[in-house]
Homo-oligomer: A and B are copies of this chain.
């Protein structure tokens, strides 16, 4: 863990006049899990989207894997193969079945040979308990199943960093667990560097190597491990944690 995998410094983001992110600074080392907590509208999704080139930022610098991010479309397209992202709305392509959804990236973007990719994907599908569903279409799956496939689709590109944005927020309560378990496994094996936005506090407590607390577009706290949950420093964070458990 010499140089960090991801380095964000002095990031500023505006929507027209609205100042959404203020001077965001942090770094993330390979193998670490960073959870991003904060009230609704605080800018968590926006930050993640900036890290995947879905939003442009106006100032500041991002360095990923030693490479300075230029915000050029061509560069993003290449970087996105190394930075996987999973959204709240499990966006599988409805017109392609599970396998085709997953293969699109490795075959068309990375141009890897099908024969090499297939066994890896079988492996991943087995890991998330979806080995039998390769031929299913998204509409035939439950929300939790779709979200698991979306995770596999991102993993299939063998990214160095995974971004998870409230991936369980639109799931039925009983399905939340399946999906979180998968992320937990990924975290436990230290195989994957992750940046996770979630509202599930117990889950966050279990997986975090670091916690970033965002409010009104500013990082109010950055603490290692579970310290954040036990001794939040700012009042904002205390209130936030109080509102989260009932």
Interface residues of A (CB under 8 A from B): 39-40, 172-177, 180, 199-200, 202-203, 240, 243-244, 246
Contacts and interface: CB of A to CB of B under 8 A. Distances in A.
A216 B173 CA distance: 17
A203 B203 CA distance: 20
Most buried by B among A176, A180, A240, A246: A246
Nearest to A202: B246
Contacts of A40: 172-175
5 contacts: A39-B174, A173-B243, A177-B246, A180-B246, A200-B246
A204 to B, nearest CB: 11
Nearest 6 Cβ contacts at the A-B interface:
A40-B172, A173-B199, A202-B246, A174-B243, A39-B174, A177-B243
Contacts of A172: 40, 199
Given A40-B173, A180-B246, 12 more contacts: A40-B172, A40-B175, A172-B199, A173-B199, A173-B243, A174-B240, A174-B243, A174-B244, A176-B246, A177-B243, A177-B246, A202-B246
Nearest to A245: B202
Most buried by B among A173, A180, A243: A173
A182 to B, nearest CB: 14
A244 B174 CA distance: 6
Contacts of A203: 246
Nearest to A40: B172
A172 B40 CA distance: 7
A200 B173 CA distance: 9
Contacts of A199: 172-173
Nearest to A173: B199
Nearest to A242: B177
A150 B174 CA distance: 27
A40 to B, nearest CB: 4
